[in-house]
């Protein structure tokens, strides 16, 4: 259990830092996509902003538990295991949730695409961390 929590917390810190880096990159290189966040479909009151910062930890702790349960099934080297873990998470969780989000909320397909790639990327990075900390 200690390995799951430790790896999850380390991955959470890394994913939080990664989210800030990606945010700066998106603002810099995709300003029209950034403008979509000023749409009324997004909560802009600031009351729940703290939840944004907790998300990487909630996600990484959950993924750490999943990794611990299924790590023996994922074969290959360090890189392949991380990518396969990301693909599994992307297909099982991110793709269906992006599908329903796009069908229910007035946001663009490019935004959904970036969220899909971001979710896959988070799981790959987490998979790399879990592979090193909890092989």
Domain count, the chain: 1
Mean pLDDT of 29-55: 83
Confirm if 82 and 134 have CB atoms less than 8 A apart.
Answer: no
Sign of CA dihedral 54, 26, 24, 127: positive
Mean pLDDT of 49-58: 92
Model confidence at 35, pLDDT cuts 50, 70, 90, reads: confident
Supply the range of the domain harboring residue 97.
Answer: 2-133
Q: How is residue 90 written in tokens?
A: 């992307």
pLDDT for the residue 16: 96
Residue with more model confidence, 48 or 73: 73
What is the C-alpha to C-alpha distance for residues 46 and 93, in angstroms, rounded to an integer?
A: 27
**Is the per-residue pLDDT at 55 higher than 80?**
yes
**Is the per-residue pLDDT at 33 higher than 80?**
yes
Confirm if 107 and 36 have CB atoms less than 8 A apart.
Answer: yes
pLDDT for the residue 65: 97
pLDDT for the residue 133: 95
């Amino acid at each position: 259990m200690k390995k799951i929590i430790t790896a999850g917390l380390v991955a959470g810190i890394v994913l939080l830092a990664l989210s800030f880096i990606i945010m700066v990159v998106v603002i810099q290189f995709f300003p029209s996509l950034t403008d979509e966040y000023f749409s009324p479909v997004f909560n802009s009151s600031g009351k729940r902003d703290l939840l944004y910062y907790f998300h990487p930890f909630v996600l990484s702790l959950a993924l750490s538990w999943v990794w611990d349960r299924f790590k023996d099934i994922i074969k290959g080297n360090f890189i392949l295991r991380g990518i396969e873990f990301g693909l599994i998470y992307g297909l099982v969780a991110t793709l269906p949730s992006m599908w329903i989000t796009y069908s229910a909320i007035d946001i663009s397909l490019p935004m959904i695409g970036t969220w899909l790639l971001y979710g896959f990327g988070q799981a790959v990075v987490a998979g790399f961390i879990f592979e090193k900390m909890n092989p």
